[in-house]
Structure 1
Amino acid sequence: MSHRNARLTVHGRRILVERVLAGRPVAHVAAEMGISRPTAHKWVRRWRAEGQAGLHDRSSRPHTTPHRTRPAVEARVCDLRRSRKLGPARIGPILGLPASTVHRILTRHGLGRLAWLDRPTGEPIRRYERDRPGELVHVDIKKLGNIPDGGWRVVGRTAGDRNRQATTGQRKSSTPVIGYSYIHSAVDDHSRLAYSEVLTDERQHTAIAFWARANAFFAAHGISVERVLTDNGSCYKSKQFTQALTAAGITHKKIRPYRPQTNGKVEPFNRTLLDEWAYQRPYRSNTERTAALADFLHTYNHHRCHTALGGKPPISRVNNAPGRYT
């Protein structure tokens, strides 16, 4: 592929060489093709020395950089970035370097953005992606407070307290107990295709029933699940959950304790779930919020751009999406 500002492509350079070899003056051919005579001579010279390979662009990167920052100083810059999470403007004065130099060093070592670093360790996050849909599915549960009938974000806290009193008869020290909903989610590692349900608890039988429906959802999209990755929640640690997966020919894997980063496909999905569904607008009841989940999932899977997929929705990576093939 040619440089974006090059006047000639590789094919055009080949035509240039052919015309010169046919006996045409280099100056005439250069004028016809809109390039200078030195440039035309350069491509002819490279073709004679290297053949077809000489017609391709070369890197403009210098062979040596004698003024590059010393390795020991670069190591110190990286250490300050990892250990103290400092930026170029603060690292520069400490080491006596311009902030622009520090920025280039951090970029060269993959430390340019704090979002790319694991907060506890300061090490660059190693991102991975499975090769095909169904090879690994991430499963997790998000706990979310229920909404009293009428809500309180719409009508204010005073009327909201009355709504809370009227919604439930359960009390804890005279305080009405609204309770929680549990959003069970499953996200395919390769395609990011997601399936979620709002359920009343996070017990093992509920988790098993959810996975049965999630597995049917993936199967309907032509995805055969091979492995399931979960955290170490009590419902996932139960033998019944593992046995239910094994009976379907699925391997159950659990993340290392206190390392939610390992479950790194469903955790960001949970944040998106909160921002674009649960807290996207004020809801007047828990039922209204639950009903809005289906529209969010359809938008997420079929229309919402995903940065990790090159701006395409998850359905674009599904091997046999419904209606795609006849």
Structure 2
Amino acid sequence: MGETVRVAAVQAEPVWLDMEATTDKTIRLIAEAATGGADLIAFPETWIPGYPVFLWSYPVYEQMQFVARYHANSPAIDGPQIARIREAAQQHSITVVVGFSEKDAGSLYMSQAVIGPGGDLVLHRRKLKPTHAERTLFGEGDGSDIKVIDTPLGRVGALQCFEHLQPLTKYAMYAQNEQIHVAGWPCLGILGNVPALSPESIMACTQTYALEGSAFVVAATQIMSDDGARKFPTADGGPTPVYTGGGGYARVYGPHSAMITQPLDPTEEGIVYADLDLSDIDLAKNTVDPAGHYARPDVTRLVFDDRPRKPVITPREQAAVELDSLDFNGPVELEPQDRLREPAPTQL
């Protein structure tokens, strides 16, 4: 058995639509996880200021009462809320992976930040493609966000929610030799009996990520209480109509896909811990490594463009992009078995 890494997965309720109070709670949970001996703590998707359940609850014209508050309570990556979280990471010498609604000028993004134990921002990413109704509120990331980074704990990566159903996105992560993966999720089951969005389906795809990627997967989820559901009231003051109660499914899966933590009750706030032996990954990949020895690049390959994209660039940047495009899209020398045969002449 090799040296272990202790990880902590959060299952908790944000202070809905309140970024200051949720930041305070984030810092308390960081301190709790550090006291519990954790080297890394993982928070859910859009933990700050809570997942926008109103997108799934009301027609668009009834959402406006929440949209302005959501914008006002979405932190900037260089704002005081993220700075406080970075200070807490440094104070407690712990790696923090936090999901938040990022405000950048007039746009919002479903973002994740990986903060090192020294308080440094080692990865800032945005959800590549917001899911369904989320696209009415959030912008998109780009290929530069699909990244696995070296840390003192191992190679760490993160995705959010239904990015775990995107086969090519997952494969791009697997190919970067990811060892510890953070899966950020909102409160599960908020859409009631929709099978594709059920907690069972969501945990199945999270577990599949561990199996396919031969990685440890740390899943963090939100919960929603009765009081929380009333933060998004109906006209008569009742709770949001998609509320089903609870929604917490924080857990950790090993590289052979077995769950290695004891789950909390879906309505209970808390932190689950797991001690990871990264040498277990070698044994898992010895059996199946879809982006390594088990791949068939002569049959199927992924073209992965990891360049950042911006809507406005300077002429100097444009020249660099064009030069880079020549390198990316230029002629490729094919192996003999890859070359297509000339078609036979058509007989008239």
Could you say which TM-score interval applies, normalised by the shorter chain? under 0.3
Q: Which has the higher helix share?
A: 1
- Between Structure 1 and Structure 2, the one with more strand by share is 2
TM-score (norm 2): 0.24
Higher relative contact order (CA 8 A, sep 6+): 2
Structure of higher CA gyration radius: 1
